[in-house]
Amino acid sequence: MPELPEVETVRRGLLPYLEGQRIERLSLNRDGLRWPFPPDLVQVATGATVTGLRRRSKYILVDLDRGASLLIHLGMSGRMLIEGGAVGDFHRDPSILPRHDHVVMETGAGTRITLNDARRFGMFDLVRDDASPLLTSLGPEPLSDDFSGETLAAAFAGRRAPVKSLLLDQRIVAGLGNIYVSESLHRAGIDPRRAGGRIGRARLNNLTNNIKDVLTEAIAAGGSSLRDHRQASGELGYFQHSFRVYDRENVPCPNPGCGGTIRRIVQSGRSSFWCPGCQR
């Protein structure tokens, strides 16, 4: 599933083609994806002007001038495709099958933007005043000033759950997933199995700084393309070439002088990659 850097990369790619544009037409090619489309989705979106694009956790919000926002989640395999274009000229990759085009927006500038989702785990919803429970239950954004060692200390206080599991809890911090938590814990030198409530403030300060650094670097690299992720332009992300531990089981630890070997363990049904030599 795309994590924060991949979703932010898609948002930035869509921005010049949607912001300030009128949605001349919105077409739905099925009844829904993860759940049914709202019955008034086409009516509200058609003719509306896009006033901005935001990201909250792993969701993209397309703000409309009608007091509502389109809420988009890419699920496991969703892609936002751009064809035609007011800024550039894009053409569809022939390997992306049109039968998976589920939502199509056409702007006044002649751009066609499509949600293509082969597995249909994505979503395309309509929200007002960000009132959806999908948004109201989320924790702070990890790249915001609201996220700090103090924030984690308060959330982890008295908790015996492993720090890896706590960081994946979207109520504690929004947008993190398996890849970037593994990478951040390795940089911070923290064992993913360590109880969150037993990590001191100084180490939590270091952890939050590393989370911010990893996410910033991943966004600059266009995210990580392991299976389905593509930027809105169709290009691959390339942060996967900078992984230190994720998906690198049995590879020597890259930290100078460590001498350890990357291992994989399963936590709450998810793979965690870590180095027992330098993560304590």
pLDDT of the residue at 149 = 98
State the Cα–Cα distance between residues 171 and 167, nearest whole angstrom: 9
CA 253 to the chain's CA centroid = 27
Q: Which of 140, 159, 270, 276 is catalytic?
A: 270
Note if 39 is an active site residue. Answer: no
Q: Which of 11, 55, 56, 58 is catalytic?
A: 58
- For the chain, domain boundaries: 4-136, 149-274
pTM listed for this prediction: 0.92
pLDDT of the residue at 225 = 62
pLDDT of the residue at 48 = 98
Report whether CATH 3.20.20.140 matches the domain 4-136.
Answer: no
pLDDT of the residue at 10 = 93
DSSP 248: -
pLDDT of the residue at 236 = 63
Per CATH, the number for 149-274 is 1.10.8.50
Q: Looking at this protein, which amino acid is placed at residue 193?
A: R
Q: Which of 3, 6, 106, 183 is catalytic?
A: 3
Q: How far is CA 51 from CA 3, 114, 164, 198, 277, in A?
A: 25, 19, 37, 45, 50
Q: How many CA atoms lie less than 13 Å away from 174 in the CB half-sphere?
A: 19
DSSP 162: B
pLDDT of the residue at 98 = 86
Q: What average pLDDT does the chain have? A: 92
pLDDT of the residue at 239 = 84
Digit-coded pLDDT (tens) for 244-263: 999 999 999 999 999 999 99
Q: Looking at this protein, which amino acid is placed at residue 252?
A: P
Note if 2 is an active site residue. Answer: yes
pLDDT of the residue at 92 = 61
Average pLDDT for runs of 10 along the chain of length 280: 91 95 98 96 98 98 98 93 68 74 96 94 96 96 98 98 98 96 98 98 98 96 69 68 95 97 94 97
Residue 12, burial from CB neighbour count under 10 angstroms (0-12, 13-18, 19+): middle
State the Cα–Cα distance between residues 235 and 211, nearest whole angstrom: 25
pLDDT of the residue at 232 = 62
Digit-coded pLDDT (tens) for 35-77: 999 999 999 999 999 999 999 999 999 999 999 999 999 998 8
Note if 92 is an active site residue. Answer: no
